[in-house]
Structure formats: structure tokens, C-alpha cells
């Protein structure tokens, strides 16, 4: 279990074994009949049969603690990759298919920032939240996968947003998008902000700065592989879809 946690819990961040302050979150994993129990802040919150399958629950517990305690950054539920030095944001709540789309973009050469959160600062720049990609691939549990599985680099520096794609998956559907107005892009970020952050008076100004000069599209997508190809076609087309 310790080996799995060292490998998959925010793997690019440094570790310490001598923390002396009060923790923002205390998570403990105990052996149980047939597997493991996860206890977070004294509350039993998940059971899993294996160490690897437990990681999805541990990652989400720590996600919640990180988001609650952010300082000078705001989080948006959005898959995030970087292409040609600028961020592609894919807003959507959990289970909206962000991870599968992020994976397909990584396969095609994008730099990984997150499959769940875009972190936005006061200048509107996007910071990485490089947890493992959580993929299901037909399994009962989501499995953590590191970006190097697809030979993808992991971003470490804040970047300017370049594109926002608010695309909903529809089984058997087709790629059908149209340009977004700037106000629509801001609303898309607000709509996908974790509730714990949604009432901040600074939020709107951060998001307005984030979408300045960004090109945005909204609509429907088909399977992730085709959608990734269409996204990169639009991204690589000069002048397409600039928001007003």
C-alpha cells in the first residue's frame, strides 16, 4: 500500500517524513477482511480489495482537502493539457469523460496538467494539478495511470489558456461544435467550480482574465479519439473561433 501511495499520490510533489504542523487532512488505510478500509479524518469512507484500486479513493479524499485549502488559486473541474505552449481546457464535472479525452490528447503529444482540475491564479494563468489520470477501461474500479504511460511530459509552470472546449459526449453521436462567446466561457468555468469555492467574490475576476484572448467552442462530441483529432485540428487552425 505504501508503494502504491508513493507512486500514485501527487507523484511529482516532494515528500516529507517530519511534518510538525496540524494536517489539513489525515487519511489512514487499514487492512480489512478481503481488502482495505480508508479512514479520512476519523470517518470510514471507502473499501477496496487491492492497493492499486484503493488509490482512486485516496486521491479523491486528498483532492477535496487540497481544493478546500487553496490559497490564491481557484479550481475548475476541467481536464487540462498544454499544446504549443498554451492550455486547452475541457470543463466538465466528474464522470463527464474528461479523462478519456485527456488521454487521447496525451497520446498525440500534449503536455499533461490534470485530468480533473485547472487551477487559475489572479492573472488568469493555469497551473498544473498533476495527479495520475484515473481511467476505467471497463473495470469496476478506476485505475491510476501516470502520464509516462503515453510518453507524455508533465507541466510544472503556469501557462496562459489558449482554448476552451465545452463538449458533451453523446454515444453514437457526431462531432458538432460552434464558437463560444466570452461570456459563455466564463459561465462554463463558473458552472464547473467546486461548490466550496463558488461564493468567493474574487472568482469572477480570475475567470475573466483566464478567458481573455481564448478561443472557445461548445457542442457535442463522439468517441474520445475522434474528438481529440477534431480538437487539434481547430487548435492548429489560425484565427478559428476567437471569442468576443
Residue 53 covered by a domain: yes
Do 83 and 45 belong to one domain?
Answer: no
Instruction: Please state, as a whole number, how many other Cβ atoms lie within 10 Å of the Cβ of residue 237.
Output: 10
**Cell 487499514 belongs to residue:** 30
End-to-end CA distance of the chain: 50
The Cα 213–Cα 242 span in angstroms is 7
What's the pLDDT at 121?
95
What's the pLDDT at 195?
73
Residue 242 covered by a domain: no
What's the pLDDT at 225?
93
The Cα 244–Cα 224 span in angstroms is 28
Distance of CA 132 to the CA centre of its chain: 10
User: Domain range spanning residue 141?
Assistant: 74-235
What's the pLDDT at 199?
67
Do 48 and 80 belong to one domain?
Answer: no
Sign of CA dihedral 46, 49, 53, 54: positive
pLDDT > 90: percent of the chain: 69
Residue 171 contacts by C-beta under 8 Å, 6 or more apart in sequence? none
Do 226 and 181 belong to one domain?
Answer: yes
Residue 63 contacts by C-beta under 8 Å, 6 or more apart in sequence? 116, 117, 131
DSSP H helical ranges for the chain: 2-8, 51-68, 98-107, 182-191, 203-211, 224-235
Residue 240 covered by a domain: no
Residue 42 covered by a domain: yes
Do 112 and 214 belong to one domain?
Answer: yes
Residue 243 covered by a domain: no
What's the pLDDT at 196?
65
Task: Give one DSSP letter per residue of 4-40, joined into a string.
Answer: HHHHHSSTTSPP-S---S--S--EEEEEETTEEEEEE
Residue 241 covered by a domain: no
Contact 127, 133 (CB under 8 A): no
Which one, of 46, 41, 71, lies nearest residue 56 by Cα?
Answer: 46
Last residue of a domain, one of 13, 45, 68: 68
Which pTM value belongs to this model? 0.90
Provide the domain count of the chain: 2
Do 95 and 53 belong to one domain?
Answer: no
**Cell 517524513 belongs to residue:** 17
**What would the pLDDT profile of 110-147 be if each residue is shown by its tens digit?**
999 999 999 999 999 999 998 999 987 666 678 899 99
Last residue of a domain, one of 68, 96, 119: 68
Do 152 and 203 belong to one domain?
Answer: yes
**What would the pLDDT profile of 137-167 be if each residue is shown by its tens digit?**
666 678 899 999 999 999 999 999 999 999 9
Do 105 and 172 belong to one domain?
Answer: yes
**What would the pLDDT profile of 179-204 be if each residue is shown by its tens digit?**
999 999 999 999 998 876 666 778 88
The Cα 214–Cα 60 span in angstroms is 30
Do 59 and 99 belong to one domain?
Answer: no
Do 208 and 165 belong to one domain?
Answer: yes
Pairing of the two strands 215-221 and 161-169: parallel
Do 115 and 154 belong to one domain?
Answer: yes
**What would the pLDDT profile of 212-244 be if each residue is shown by its tens digit?**
999 999 999 989 999 999 999 999 887 654 555
pLDDT > 70: percent of the chain: 93
Dig out the grid coordinates for 241 from the structure.
Answer: 473561433
Residue 149 covered by a domain: yes
Do 81 and 174 belong to one domain?
Answer: yes
Amino acid at each position: 500500500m505504501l508503494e502504491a501511495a508513493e507512486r500514485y499520490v501527487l507523484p511529482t510533489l516532494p515528500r516529507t517524513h517530519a511534518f510538525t504542523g496540524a494536517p489539513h487532512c489525515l487519511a489512514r488505510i487499514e487492512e480489512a477482511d478481503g481488502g482495505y478500509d480508508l479512514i479520512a479524518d476519523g470517518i470510514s469512507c471507502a473499501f477496496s480489495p487491492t492497493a492499486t484500486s484503493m488509490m482512486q479513493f485516496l486521491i479523491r479524499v486528498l483532492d477535496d482537502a487540497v481544493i478546500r485549502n487553496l490559497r490564491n488559486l481557484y479550481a475548475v473541474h476541467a481536464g487540462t493539457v498544454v499544446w504549443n505552449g498554451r492550455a486547452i481546457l475541457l470543463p466538465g464535472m466528474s464522470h463527464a469523460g474528461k479523462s478519456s479525452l485527456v488521454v487521447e490528447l496525451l497520446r498525440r503529444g500534449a503536455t499533461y496538467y490534470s485530468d480533473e482540475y485547472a487551477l487559475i491564479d489572479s492573472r488568469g494563468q493555469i497551473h498544473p494539478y498533476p495527479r495520475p489520470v484515473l481511467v476505467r477501461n471497463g473495470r469496476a474500479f478506476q485505475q491510476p495511470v501516470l502520464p509516462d504511460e503515453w510518453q507524455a511530459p508533465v507541466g510544472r509552470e503556469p501557462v496562459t489558456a489558449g482554448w476552451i472546449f465545452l463538449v458533451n459526449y453523446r454515444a453514437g453521436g457526431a462531432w458538432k461544435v460552434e464558437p463560444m462567446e466570452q461570456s459563455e466561457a466564463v459561465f462554463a468555468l463558473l458552472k464547473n467550480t467546486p461548490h466550496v469555492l463558488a461564493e468567493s467574490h474574487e472568482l469572477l475576476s480570475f475567470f475573466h482574465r483566464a478567458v481573455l484572448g481564448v478561443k472557445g467552442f461548445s457542442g457535442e462530441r463522439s468517441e474520445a479519439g475522434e474528438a481529440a483529432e477534431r480538437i487539434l485540428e481547430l487548435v492548429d487552425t489560425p484565427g478559428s473561433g476567437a471569442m468576443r
